[in-house]
Amino acid sequence: MENNNISLVHVLLLITVPAIVLYIIITSSETFTTGVYEPFTIDASNITSPTAWVDEDPNNKLHGNLITMLSDATDIFELLKVKTYLIAGTLLGAVREGDIIKWDDDIDLAMFYDGDIGEYNAYRRKMIDDFNRIGISHDMTIKLNNFGLLITNNTIRASIDIFVFTKNKYGVYTHFCPVVSKCTAWHRQVVFEQDIKPNPPATAKLRGRSYNIPSNTAAVLKRWYGVDWMTPDINHFHKSTEYNIRKHFTITQPLDIPIAPVTLTLNSDKYMKSTDELTREFLLQTIIEMRVSMLYVLHDAYIKYLPYIYFHCVRPIKLNFKIITYVTCESTLPEQLTMCNTVRVANHTLYDKFSLYNIIINSPQTVEYTTAITYGTYDLLHQGHVNLFENSKRICNKLIVGVSTDEFNHTKGKYASEDFNTRISRVNANIHVDESSRETSFDHKQRNVDEHGANLLIMGGDWRDKFDEEVDVPCFYFDRTPNISSTELRATLNMS
């Protein structure tokens, strides 16, 4: 009887244990096996609410391969005693969704290099030699690329981008990738030293395994993706993954549809509101509604809003969104403007500071001198004119002044007390004026801008907003000096 009982127990165990194990496997893998996922809202103007994910989503197989490859690569780097960290979209997916983002097609890792910048390429080549020595049995190859390093596995058709960050003198790790500078939202982002300082590092799990991540993770992701980083949103993608997006979303127009350039110039306090939050949201709403593709920043007060504007405007339909900032304040730091495509500066000190910073971080950002051009009759040159020249020279490195000819004044119904030669001689004698030219027509401003290589137009406040569409460079308006004008002076002279 005992033998019969034992046999019965054995039979029950043989039946129930595999069933329990199978149940555990199925339920524990539910989050990443094929199935229907809950739809979520995407905040992008050319994408409607997403459809549910289909059962036979081919990305499931790809993501399984990516996880395998990530685990194998991590094993190799641990043997080499090299710390790697989840970064960019992979970090965002691990923290926000506990998995790879559903339209992603690769893994993003980061390495942080503390050595001499001159040895950066040697460091990458040594990493390749060491990795290949250990990883040859894993069907993986590693090579140099613009990101830093690229690991591929042709057998399973998967890849890992390794972004090698270098530390500058401020203790800030920066990364530069020229290839993706126009198609991602994170190409020039930074990681602070304290974000990777803890030992052991902070970790996050991807499909059962823990991987290193930067500490202060929420702050890092907020810095990279904006305050609403927890809301799923297609705010960057590789061109090659457009297919993956199209599979899951109803696209109402091509992602690369050409958009007529629309320019917005921040040259006054017109867009300033009572609080920073209201200003930021008003700017963002204006840019999106206008479908702005070129943003000129001529007012220092707007600089602090640029990161927020940048990360919320680089969308699939905003791939060509550019920011050009004019810097006049000596206290402006290069780190504040890393998201700008071009920085135009008013003097040699600023030029040296921004150029040196860009060399240190290997940035694609262009640094240029500001060359400004302004126009007027300048009859009976007075303090108001001098103030205009002085204020203009504060915001530019070179000031060109166009003086209206007598013939042009006559077409405007104006008659100066002094002839053209006298007026232009007085203008040339001013210490703030670098060059002068003849103004012969309202219609020649663009031609003058091109001839002189000007990148800024300056006009008096009484012309405010009237020249914004006249030339292809931004316009800055200075208020006129009160209680003084050539008209008043001519009237006084006539009375005497």
Q: How many CB atoms lie within 10 A of CB 411?
A: 12
End-to-end CA distance of the chain: give it in Å, rounded: 137
Structure tokens at 89: 């979209």
Rounded CA separation 263/324 (Å): 11
Four-point Cα dihedral 46, 48, 51, 53, nearest 10? 40
Catalytic residue among 304, 412, 445, 466: 412
Whether residue 412 lies in the annotated active site: yes
| Amino acid at residue number 90 | T
* 3-class secondary-structure state, position 290: helix
Cis preceding linkage at 39, omega within 30:
no
Q: How many CB atoms lie within 10 A of CB 241?
A: 17
Stretch (H or E) spanning 477: strand 475-478
Strand runs labelled E in 243-384 = 263-266, 294-297, 322-327, 342-345, 366-369, 371-376
Contacts of 457 (CB under 8 A, 6+ apart): 372, 373, 374, 445, 449, 467, 470, 471, 473, 474, 475, 476
Contacts of 103 (CB under 8 A, 6+ apart): 59, 234, 237, 241, 244, 245, 248
Structure tokens at 385: 């004119």
Whether residue 414 lies in the annotated active site: yes
The string of DSSP codes covering 217-263 is: HHHHHHHHH-TTTTS-------GGGHHHHHHHS-BSS-TT------E
Conformational region of residue 484, where left means phi above 0, alpha means psi within -120 to 50, and beta covers everything else: beta
The catalytic residue positions are: 412, 414
